């Protein structure tokens, strides 16, 4: 470009160094983005490579088999697949209901509002220190719940073994005696089992669901809240009919994320689920999950078992991927109606 210039001209074309830096920066972003993708593919490929002997030898019978016996060289992971899905589903039901309700409580500032009314009774709602307490309390509660996510899973496991199981054993066995004819309560709880595992797992995924759902609820445009309240909706009606549906996409996203964590959670489940090779709908029966199976079997694994464990890992990876894809697809469908809102 040739632009006639005089001595006051300040604009100039970018120097070759600027162009070079620009190109390098763009190249680096490409490289790192693809590196992340390649890393996932590489790991999956390696697992498949080491699992290949087992896949060839055992085929789909490995996935449908129900026995795991090192001595007889018989391996099947159907009980573990069942246990993985069942424990995750139970945890998800409990975790989602508690998590979303907690998120609503946090996002609508119920606690702060309550404290404000208390302060108002004593006439100190505009006090320079006390007056700040309501909003301080709201953020404190939010941070406390997010702190749940920072607890290492082995701590959850220990807590589950020494606190949760003794606590629920008596009531569970009473339920079994009274309602044993219902399949869910069909066995007695002798110690580790599906229920304690699911309860602890639910607590573990709670902060994920609560934190993301709360952010989504807070992000619901205030003009929509005003619209609902302006129409004469009560708080409950506004929350249920407008605020939660508007945030439903992100709430759903948090559930999918939590499911991802539940499926792969290892340490706490290996400690709590009972490691029993069994398919049962009973909540009190010991069971096993794929992740716990891997964690329990790798120390003594010979070359042959390594291939078998790699096969199991590949199945776990596939389950996680499929669940995430289904989640992403559902999420896309759920949020399609919200276009044009922001």
What stretch of H or E contains 68? strand 68-69
CA–chain centroid gap for 71, Å, is 37
The residue from 241, 298, 328, 329 that contacts other proteins (CB under 8 A) is 241
Is residue 196 part of the contact set for other proteins (CB under 8 A)? no
* Region for 111 from its dihedrals, namely left if φ exceeds 0, alpha if ψ lies in -120 to 50, beta otherwise: alpha
Nearest residue (CB) to other proteins, 170 versus 226: 226
Residue number with CB closer to other proteins (178 or 234): 234
Sole binder of other proteins in the list 27, 61, 113, 171 (CB under 8 A): 113
Which residues in the 209-238 window bind other proteins by CB under 8 A? 221, 223-234, 237
The reply to whether 112 sits near other proteins by the rule CB under 8 A is yes
CB 81 within 8 A of CB 63: yes
Q: Does 245 bind other proteins (CB under 8 A)?
A: yes
Region near other proteins per CB under 8 A, out of 7-15, 50-58, 111-119, 152-160: 111-119
Length of the chain: 342
**Where does residue 159 rank: exposed (0-12), middle (13-18), buried (19+ CB within 10 A)?**
middle
Find where tokens 């208390």 sit: 118
| Nearest CA-CA partner of 69 in 77, 58, 60, 61 | 77
Are the CB atoms for 195 and 284 separated by under 8 Å?
yes
Q: Which of 70, 125, 188, 324 binds other proteins (CB under 8 A)?
A: 125
The one segment of 124-132, 252-260, 291-299, 313-321 that binds other proteins by CB under 8 A: 124-132
For residue 242, state whether it binds other proteins (rule: CB under 8 A): yes
Task: Answer for the pair 311, 54: CB distance below 8 angstroms, yes or no.
Answer: yes
5 binds other proteins (CB under 8 A): no
- Note whether 122 binds other proteins by CB under 8 A: no
Residues binding other proteins (CB under 8 A) = 109, 112-113, 116, 125-126, 131, 134, 221, 223-234, 237, 241-242, 245-246, 337-341
């Amino acid at each position: 470009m040739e632009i006639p210039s005089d001595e006051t001209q300040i604009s100039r074309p970018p120097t070759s160094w600027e162009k070079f830096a620009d190109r390098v920066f763009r190249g680096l972003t490409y490289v790192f983005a693809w590196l992340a993708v390649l890393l996932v593919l590489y790991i999956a490929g390696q697992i498949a490579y080491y699992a290949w002997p087992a896949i060839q030898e055992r085929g789909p019978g490995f996935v449908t088999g129900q026995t795991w016996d090192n001595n007889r060289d018989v391996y099947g992971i159907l009980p573990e697949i069942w246990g993985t899905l069942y424990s995750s589903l139970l945890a998800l039901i409990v975790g989602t209901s508690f998590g979303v309700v907690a998120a609503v409580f946090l996002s609508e500032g119920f606690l702060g509002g309550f404290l404000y009314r208390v302060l108002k009774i004593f006439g100190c709602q505009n006090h320079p220190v006390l007056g700040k307490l309501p909003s301080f309390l709201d953020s404190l509660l939010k941070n406390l719940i997010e702190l749940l996510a920072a607890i290492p899973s082995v701590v959850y496991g220990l807590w589950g073994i020494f606190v949760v199981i003794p606590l629920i054993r008596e009531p569970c066995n009473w339920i079994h005696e009274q309602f044993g004819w219902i399949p869910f309560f069909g066995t007695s709880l002798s110690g580790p089992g599906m229920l304690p595992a699911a309860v602890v797992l639910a607590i573990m995924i709670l902060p994920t669901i609560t934190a993301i759902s709360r952010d989504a609820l807070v992000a619901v445009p205030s003009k929509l809240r005003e619209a609902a309240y302006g129409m004469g909706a009560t708080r409950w009606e506004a929350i249920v009919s407008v605020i939660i549906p508007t945030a439903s996409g992100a709430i759903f996203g948090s559930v999918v994320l939590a499911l991802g964590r539940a499926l792969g959670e290892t340490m706490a489940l290996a400690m709590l689920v009972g490691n029993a090779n069994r398919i049962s709908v009973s909540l009190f029966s010991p069971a096993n999950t794929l992740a716990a199976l891997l964690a329990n079997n790798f120390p003594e694994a010979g070359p042959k078992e390594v291939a078998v464990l790699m096969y199991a890992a590949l199945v776990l990876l596939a389950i996680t991927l499929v669940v995430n894809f289904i989640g992403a697809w559902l999420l896309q469908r759920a949020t399609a109606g919200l276009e044009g809102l922001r």
